[in-house]
Structure 1
Amino acid sequence: MSTVQWLLQISLLLWLSIGAAAATQGKPDCPKRCGDVDIPYPFGIGSACCFDEWFEVTCNNSVHPPKPFLKRINLEVLNVSLDHGTIRVNNPVLIYQNCSGKPSNYRKSWNGGPFSFSETYTRFTAVGCSALAYIMQDDVVNGGCMSFCKQGTTAPTNGNCNGLECCQTQAPPGLQSFTAYLESTSYNFSDPKQETCIYAFMVDHKWFSSKLSDPHAVKDKGYVPAVLDWRIYNAKCESVGWNNTSISNTSTSFCGTNARCSVANQSSGVICACDRGYEGNPYLPEGCQGILAGVGTLLLVICAWWLYKVLKRRQKIKYKEKCFKRNGGLLLEQQLSSSEGNVDKTKLFTSKELEKATDHYNENRVIGKGGQGTVYKGMLMDGRIVAVKKLKIVGDGKVEQFINEVVILSQINHRNVVKLLGCCLETTEPLLVYEFVPNGTLSEHIHDQNEEFPITWEMRLRIATEVAGALFYLHSAASIPIYHRDIKSTNILLDDKYRAKVADFGTSKFVAIDQTHLTTQVQGTFGYLDPEYFQSSQFTEKSDVYSFGIVLIEFLTGKKAILSTASKEGKSLASNFILSMNEDCLSNLLDAQVVKEGRKEEINAIAFLARRCINLNGKKRPTMMEVAMELERIKKCQGDFSAQENFKEVEYDTIELTRPWDVASTSMGSCLNTSASSSLDVQPLLFQKSF
């Protein structure tokens, strides 16, 4: 047994010597029960009996038996678990469609409070024929599922929810604020016997599978059981006293005697548990009861002083080691040491180096903030200007994304991919150090154009070619194929010469050479997300092609992937682009800078390529190699568009195409057509007005 372990056991004996009272669940002199439901502290009936207003319970005595409700969020309490840190509530059905007298949209927000839907016990569920249900946070799809119908069949009546008129997905971790959306897909079967009403809800998956024989019965219930995780929010272990009283003595734990405090898994806050051999309520001062172990007073005093001196000396070292392990340092070192290529150039920085580089993370050094973290501009000791990204780590999944980005970027050596210089694992939040890319994101230049330095048509075409080349490298030329999985204009940076740098590889994946797809939980940015991937959860190289097609459309139109909800054009840029091409009025959608500078033939070629990229059928999309080659040909032909490429007729699904394009014959030249031909070819007319 090590000296430190022995000292920690002595410290524990010091806590045990305080004594334990009889185990109790509620706060003294407070009601312990409402109807058939126990109400343990930190919950309590009345403001004087709970931890704070979020945990206050009201007891409705007008019904029999009486029913408890969480006062702040007005949900009926079914039971509370101190061991699991969960509370089971009656939750309303979130959203309906084609259901008489039912609401058609829903938004939930408990931000700042202790509650979130349980990732372990709660499922987001949709019931009905061809229902597409998803939840969003800050315009990002955070989960969803799709049900389907088959003519002549009915939904299962044994509680199964496997896609036939019923689908489920796991609640995302730490879900407090979201908006639920529900729509009927275009894949409906016209069967008059099938229910047209569709609806979605959060539900306790054990109750759903064991207590509910028919999923359609939920429509008439209006409420279903759901499980919420809870924790003592905005608190840290050994920094807050009992009953939320601030204290300065860091040796005093938030939890009661004979209890241990730990950080909640998914968000800020703490949870308590009785030590091994004790039972009761760890949130009360003496709520955990067990067998006492005596120890001599003199020995305790001597050992406490010794423990203080030893722990003081080792505190900083232990903290850094703990952070290093928690941030996946051992795994990262193993993967980097066993990899090849550019790994030797990836450095493990110390926390001291990066603190100095960023002036102790001065707010004046912040150059960007987002969902993944904050980026600071810094200068290393050798004078290099760098970007230091402090990640927001919430749950193990984010640590995996961090390690994933380091390992993948360590394998990449491409002029149009942002260069990773190293990382730091010694801090609470892992840090990534990149080359500094000074001119912001492509999205900023397209959607918030600078009149003094507009992004010209020539620049757009060059940047598109550079990004396509980088993605072709990732898919086909890297030592191990890589799927980016989050291509969008905000993840494309521009350097001092306005050259493209593809960034943000947190969700990227290595792919075996003989592997055709990845089966993953759906995630990505709404508007760039491949519909085929959303439906099947299978991500292919063509899913990156779809996202790149949306970026091409942004180049042409100057519009965002999701249009304003108040716009008459609709919500999806992709659907508006297809509609404009079908109606031969693409010029109405084009960006003014594109119309001013681009040749009609060049814009036609780019628009046609973009349309191929966003084909709903992934097999009909080009590969990134084909896209990159096509863009190179178009770029080389700038100013020499006397003739057009020999385009082939491309078949589109009837869902995507509402009517044929108008076509016209043109004589062939030699610019885009790489093979000699004297025949006449068919080319779409994308717009009719002259420039």
Structure 2
Amino acid sequence: MTEMTTSALHLQVLALTVFLVCAAAVTPAASAQQQQLPGCPDKCGDISIPYPFGIGARCARDQYFELECNRAYSPPRLIVSTHRQHLVNLSLADGEATALINARRQCYNSTEGLIGDANNYVNKDITLVGSNAYRFSAARNRFVALGCPNMGYFVDTYGYYVSGCTSICRPSQGNGASGASTGGCTGEGCCQSRIPTNTDYYELYVQTFKPGEGDPILRGGTTACRYVFLAEDKWIDTTYRGHPDFDRNDDFAVPVVLNWAIRNVGNCSAATRNMTDYACRSVNSHCIDSIDGPGYRCNCSQGYEGNPYLDGGCQDINECERPDKYACFGECTNTLGSYSCMCPRGARGDPSIPQGCLEKDKFTLALKVVTGVSVGVFLPLLMYFCLYLVLQKRKLIRTKQRFFEQNGGVILQQQMHSGGGAGGFKIFSTEELEKATNNFADDRVLGRGGHGVVYKGVLEDNMVVAIKKSKMMEEAQTKEFAREMFILSQINHKNIIKLLGCCLEVEVPMLIYEFVSNGTLYHYIHGKEPIAHISLDTRLRIVAESAKALFYMHSSASPPILHGDIKTANILLDDKLNAKVSDFGASKLAPADEAEIATLVQGTCGYLDPEYLMTCQLTDKSDVYSFGVVVLELLTRKKALYLDGPEEDRSLVSCFITAVKAGRHQELLDNQVRNEMNEEMLTEIAHLLMRCLSMNGEERPTMKEVAERLEMLRRYQQHPWVEAEGNAEENQSLLGIEQRNSNYQLKQHDVLDLEEGSTYTFSL
């Protein structure tokens, strides 16, 4: 009895297991086809009706999704219950429905006039397609005005114009209503325009034009009727493609695309907080915000399909049964929400492509062949490329080392070590300078001169510097480069630009200076936007500071340094207009015995010492001559040389000497200088300039004399007695005091030898 009971129990369990397996196999297939609530029709004619839509109040989610199936027509018509719109298509995935709406028209008879309502308003019935479910798709619909001449437009809920367009026709040709059309709904016989988003209501209007009325542009061909309507963009493109006839007077319906959504609670974030009325009922579904106004829709998750608005409506997709969409040429295994595709046992390869799986032995052989060929072909190329890179790198290192030694880098290093350092002087690598200047980009160029190009650079410590990339130098010059760089690095004067370092790894050494922000004196007085007001005191201070810097180079540097290219372009100004002498590209170190240096003439025309040009011997008096031109240029605001002017006026120095001969040198001065300078100071400055610009170098003063004289004149200019209403004798007395204080004595009559042996006397 017990055995029979146990056997019966086993049979019952087995039967139950078979039933559950069969039910599990059948239920998903049945559920996958479920689109509607139980007992509710899922079709009206050939149109599927998925939930939340439904025929009758019981089958729809709410009144806004309630539909009617009018079987009086063949095929039956699907009607929106709330607004009696005829639907021809419904889509769950896209959230769209397509409705047929009659096109509105207005016709004109040449004998009877306007047929029907004479108003411009052609649609008295409000076109409202459901304020709580549907919106007219802004992406899929266009507003259309058909016929000509026709100006149609429509307004929104608040009575505001929201879209419209104008169509015209060519003048009549033959018996037709209008000329030949160029085709398409582009403005000739038919025009279209976009509509705004979140539109659920509109009223159509058309502007009536009788023959001969309106702008002359509208006086072309005409059609009997003019239409305005909203229609699907694809329908417009298909219907009016080519060269259609826009002259029609019949009634017709046009497809309009509607975006539908669940709009009772707002977007997804609001809907998920109210789970009792949440529309996405299936477990494997998610919410999507509406693209047209407030609301949301539901979609099945990836790997699932069905109706997300029903419990269990989203079912797993069996990708293995859809090879057209999910390609698998191996063993396909379906999983929840996905699938796996693998090569059969004993094979390898890519199962997603035809014949991608090969037997293991064949695959291994093919892999070995491919690997062998690849190694045999690419390995030598790779080795050759790596060898080439190594050789190029070694060549670059050797080239840099050769340039470093050639430019005196070893000597400079020895001098720096033996001299106990160089006050922050550093030897930079090319990589550091390329990084600082963004690989010497054009937008980093500060200026271009006769000796090279100057770039603005930013070092790794964020220090801003000026990097001079010099032009070619002779081999004889490079031999002395290291010694000169070491000496220049020792210069520490507030009015001389500081040399911070150099780069010797290139053919022509690069120099790194401190950065001065306000440009050159040349641009300050001659630039595109020169400073309009420069006081006499500022001018005297700039030349006095420059003279002190040159005096320091001539007397205090060891050995003395001759600049060789003094000009306004080589005097920099900082943010406080302090002068800094720069650009030592033509500089020379004076020998200890103070012998004159025979050298190749370098410098800038207009500033060059005439004696230097004739003898090729650079002396300290050569710098004095050039500096005299700078002072004259600053006081007159005239360039040192005008090559395009008359021959007698090309040189500022020649003009000044000629003016002195005629006693009219005051006229050369800048207006502001002339207004601020009294007669005594004018005489003093003219006397100093004539001495500096003497053809005979021995008659020129030293830079020490020039610096002291300029400083004395500046103090004299700043003295309050100068601005007082005193007599000339008091000013002369003051000038005599300043002369004695500066230890600079002048003769009462100082005769200067000028051009062609002429003499001129200055009485002080």
Q: TM-score, normalising length from structure 1?
A: 0.49
Q: TM-score, normalised by structure 2?
A: 0.44
> Larger Cα Rg: Structure 1 or Structure 2?
2
Relative to its length, the structure with more helix (as a share) is 2
